[in-house]
Amino acid sequence: MSEQEQKEIEALYTDAHHWHINAGAETIHAKRLSGRFRTYKWYAASLWISFFILPYFRSEDHQAILFDIPNRQFHLGSLTIWPQDIWMLSLLLILLAITLFAVTAIAGRVWCGYFCLQTVWTDAFTWLEDKIEGNPIQRRKLDAAPWSLQKLGKKVIKHLLWLLISIATGVTFTAYFTDAYQLWIDVVTLQAPLIAWVTIGFFVFFTYVFAGFMREQVCFWLCPYARIQSVMVDKDTELPTYDLARGEPRGKMRHNAGAQKGDCIDCRLCVGVCPTGVDIREGMQEGCITCGMCIDACDSIMDKVKRPRGLIRYASRKELSGESLPPVLKRPRVITYSVVLLLSIAGIIYGLTHIPPVELSVVHERQPLFTQMSDGSIQNRYTIKAVNKTPQRLTFRLHITGLDGVNIKMPDGDIITLQPEGTIPFHVFLRMKPALLKKKKTKIRFILESMNATDKLKIKKRSVFIGPAT
């Protein structure tokens, strides 16, 4: 490290021996360095490119991914998920949560450091800031300088680019809930509905404010994950860690000043590159998002001073204390997370491969439970709701099993017609001679059998027929 670089870092952080959480009184201007973890960070951030392009792919007559809330449908390619399949959403949320917990138990806040929307967008905003206003020292000088045409120009360009990214983010998010191409036309021509403007404005505002101004403050004060991470890690968790035994006592590297006792030369570069402004040498802190930028910084210094890399590295407390590490799959919490994870995946796969083309629900009338007709027969009333999840018109014939001699009373006899992707509620009346009833409650089964020649479907639903006490 050159003397000028060291002065720049020292100017940014004058007290590296006592960590504190920046409560927003100062703006963190992190130095950007290349390295393997910075490369990993760019790879992870590039995955968010799919967020901007996926709404514009088409599948059949609709978007490949579309949350159609008015019609209560979720289109995923050629697959359509209805509200009746909401249990799969529950499994998906469990899957995402358990994945987050498992990764945290193994390697800390990997999500925060590499994949979180707040982290990625903030990194993009600060990258633009670095290109327009210069390195951290130049940015601080620019902020402290009086207003001039040069300063105004840089600030205007930076904020315009931030706003463009925010607008693209807001419109893209909204496009997942409506036709993306039509949305852009409506936005450009100012013909978008009010709900679209509100949604876009909401995301534009918070993207601009959170990524451009609040930055690490969102992680400190608004994100609950930072608060609960401590219960997810243990002594076996691999985290960016400063090797205290190897690095201390830290001190400046001076020629002909005797042997250096510790490898840390107190250059403070690990602090200067941290996007949240923490000093990893003071131990694990709430602000650390385990992005590994401090590892890249320290490794670059160790290369320059010709000392081994790894003074700051991913390591567990057991490793640093010399204890043996158990295999990952033998750790109790990892085993628990893995079992729940596999069960969730299995449930989602089963659900996606066994979505019924027609969903049927049968509700027995409660008031009254049965009615005795003038001819002496016993009548039960049922409300049936059938959901046709296919794009074809389907016709079914209704059968009842479990009760011999039952008569079906419907407006169209025993024929039921379902429109494409539609829901139809209808009433069914079942009548039975009292002499044929053997008990008060008789288990029956409603069966819808398709009358379409090309697609034979059979949907079954259980219920009961209730009569007077024998």
- What are the tens digits of pLDDT across the range 400-428? 998 888 888 887 777 888 888 778 888 89
Instruction: Compute the average pLDDT of residues 16-30.
Output: 63
Q: Which of 367, 420, 355, 354 is nearest to 391 (CA)?
A: 420
- Print the SS3 string covering 3-38: HHHHHHHHHHCCCCCCCCCCCCCCCCCCCCCCCHHH
- How far the first Cα of the chain sits from its last, in Å, is 96
* pLDDT at site 2: 57
> pLDDT at position 9, please?
47
The pTM for the full model equals: 0.78
Q: Are 312 and 294 in contact (CB under 8 A)?
A: yes
From the list 295, 247, 304, the residue with the least C-alpha distance to 274 is 295
Phi then psi for residue 303, to 5 deg, are -65, -40
Exposed, middle or buried: residue 337 (CB in 10 Å: 0-12, 13-18, 19+)? buried
Say whether pLDDT at 12 is over 70. no
In this structure, is residue 261 part of a structural domain?
Answer: no
Residues 176-190 have a mean pLDDT of: 94
Predicted pLDDT at 420 = 84
Inside any domain, residue 436 = yes
Residue 202 counted as domain residue: no
Distance CA 316, CA 321 (A): 9
122: CB partners within 8 A, 6+ apart: 210, 211, 215, 216, 275
User: How far apart, in whole angstroms, are the C-alpha atoms of residue 282 and residue 291?
Assistant: 17
Indicate whether 258 belongs to any domain: no
The helix or strand, by DSSP H or E, that contains position 184, with its residue range, turns out to be: helix 180-188
Which of 199-203, 235-239, 331-335, 454-458 is predicted most confidently? 199-203
d(CA 82, CA 71): 9
Domain count of the fold of the chain? 1
Q: Which of 149-163, 218-232, 284-298, 355-369 has the lowest mean pLDDT?
A: 218-232
Examine residue 290 and state whether it is found in any structural domain, yes or no: no
Structure tokens given for 411: 């407006």
Residues 251-293: pLDDT tens digits? 876 655 555 578 899 899 999 999 988 899 988 888 889 999 9
Q: What is the mean pLDDT of residues 52-63?
A: 87
For residues 210 and 249, which has the higher predicted lDDT (pLDDT)? Answer: 210
Q: What is the DSSP letter of 84?
A: G
Q: Is 180 part of any domain?
A: no
Beta strands in 323-435 (DSSP E): 358-364, 371-372, 378-388, 394-401, 407-409, 415-418, 423-432
Residue 443 within any structural domain of the chain: yes
Question: Is 252 part of a structural domain of the chain?
Answer: no
Where would I find the H helices in 74-148?
A: 86-107, 110, 117-133, 136-144
Q: Which residue from 219, 235, 346 is spatially nearest to 286, judged by alpha carbons?
A: 219
State the Cα–Cα distance between residues 370 and 361, nearest whole angstrom.
19
> Using one digit for the tens of pLDDT, what is the confidence trace for 377-386?
999 999 988 8
Give dist(CA 216, CA 200) in Å, integer: 24
| DSSP single-letter state for residue 147 | P
CATH number at residue 462: 2.60.40.10
Residue ranges making up the domain that contains 366: 358-466
The contacts of residue 115 (CB under 8 Å, 6+ apart) are: 44, 47
Residue 18 has pLDDT above 80, yes or no: no
Confidence band of 23 (pLDDT split at 50, 70, 90):
low
